[in-house]
Structure 1
């Protein structure tokens, strides 16, 4: 039986059939790793506490936490701890692509979304779910009740990638649907017009939302492991081309790196967190970004 930390690896989590167990194993593996990392202070165990500071009322000290940590913490008020989040998942056909990884981009994104939902519900944070392709497919308003996790997992489990996507237009619609300031976590391969994506992410920032963009690519899309003549098909129902893989590899890798770098620079300038991922990477990078963002808001 693999230990908890091994469930951060995509090749292990793919052996777990049920989405609720996948989320549970990923989060438990992640939290066990926090205890030996610089991010220990982000542990869910202390998510509703903050360090005691001069001027705080000593009567607010949580002595049970002190007994565990030898440090003074005070329990935050509810208004300090609630973080409303929305998981926003791309359902376009290109997300179904996989080369040799067991998890497609879509499966990888679902595992991340389920894990983040698990963490947020555990912290009593309201969380909702939005899925989109060429239009908004599903909208589940944010709730913090325990049954919300089941609602989110059921919607994720019944989602399937198909058709084209209009990421920019959907982001624009989401900006009008989510009325209150929230943390919007977007999961997409971003195989669409870059300018439209950037322009509409700026709309979300103007509306006061915090945004984390998880850019999920297949391992092969990042490292281009192909050799010889390859038949490459446009990922959302387009034409195919037969090309010399070795002859185009350098140009392809340069283009992918440039795409990621452009997103990194432009999104940093507008205050959006950009997290480049591929389907061979452990899930902890994405979870750390969420916890970092959560801590920054309080």
Structure 2
């Protein structure tokens, strides 16, 4: 099933262009995640309902609203309630750092947006006591951080220095990643997915075949979707460096049709194979992506 396109009225939807002014990725992630959680608690529609699982002793930084005061009255100790989605999981983000991700028609490139999104997702999951990991890839694995509750600082450091340079492909890195990840967990893949839909499905299915829950964030620039260009010019293929002369007005309708068909084809193939899919353009608020992830995770929990 695809991820429902829902929203929550209480969340602070922060503009990525504003967030780009925050150079510290930990501060950026904390800002988005705290705003998201505060909005979620205030919202009359939370969008999910989680079943109680167990208690854990209160630790500094835990949400005091989760303290079980009845248990405190009996034990004179502070415990918080854990729910099914809070139980520890291996959580890994696979981040595409290939050359095409460097494109941006405004302040935020696709890679910038993907870096911010990765920081927010890993920060959120680490706060939920998940073991978080990171893989950056182009046509091969660039960096690998195995899932751990102690790797958040390493992940933020690698995200800060991540850059797009080489041509990319999914197959080879995902074959290697599938072997590296081992035990099943939650895998998030963030990419612009400029490959044939059949190849995308074939590559990602390797992870599903090992029992991982997979959610795909398909990140595109608004200009890649709308093709707003007017003047005749040359366009550069960011991965081959080929220069292509273009008269935009003559190509716009065909271009938009082809992009729409590609996006719909990718979404259809993935969702038909129980891989969650979310299309995001780089102007979309990051906490919207967090909400989509939380909906998907709650659904996975119910299926277990």
| Normalised TM-score (structure 2) | 0.82
Matches within 5 A, 1:122-271: 122-145=127-150, 148-271=151-274
Point out where structure 1 has 5 or more consecutive residues left out of the alignment: 53-60, 68-73
Distance 1:84 1:189 in 2: 24
Is 2:27 aligned against 1:25?
no
What residue is the counterpart of 1:70 in the other structure? Answer: none
Cα distance in 2 between the residues matched to 1:208 and 1:229: 49
Residue in structure 2 matched with residue 109 of structure 1 by the alignment: 114
Q: Could you say which residue in structure 2 is the equivalent of 1:285?
A: 288
Residue 12 of structure 1 and its aligned partner are, at CA, apart by 1.0
**1:125–1:144 CA contact under 8 A, matched in 2:** yes
Correspondence 1:50 to 2:52: yes
Residues paired across the two proteins, number:
274
Report the Cα distance in structure 1 between the residues aligned to 2:83 and 2:40, rounded to whole angstroms: 25
Asked whether the equivalents of residues 12 and 36 of structure 2 are also in contact (C-alpha less than 8 Å), the reply is no
Structure 1 residues 63 and 20 mapped into 2: Cα distance closer, same or farther (>3 Å)? closer
Gaps of 5+ in 2: 1-9, 55-65, 73-79
CA shift at 1:82, angstroms? Answer: 1.4
Tell me what 2:4 maps to: none
For the 8 Å contact 1:165–1:192, the answer to whether it is kept is: no
Task: Check whether the contact 1:186–1:211 (CA below 8 A) recurs between aligned residues.
Answer: yes
Distance 1:192 1:77, change over 3 A: closer
Using CA pairs below 8 Å that are at least 6 residues apart, which structure has the higher relative contact order? 2
Q: Is the contact between residue 215 and residue 274 of structure 1 (CA under 8 Å) also seen in structure 2?
A: yes
Whether the 8 Å contact between 1:164 and 1:236 is mirrored in structure 2 is yes
4+ long deviations beyond 4 Å: 4-7, 76-80
Q: What CA RMSD, in Å, does the superposition of the two structures yield over aligned residues? A: 2.7
Partner of 2:43: 37
Q: CA deviation at 1:251?
A: 0.7
Residues 90, 132 of structure 1: 8 Å contact kept: yes
SS at match of 1:137: strand
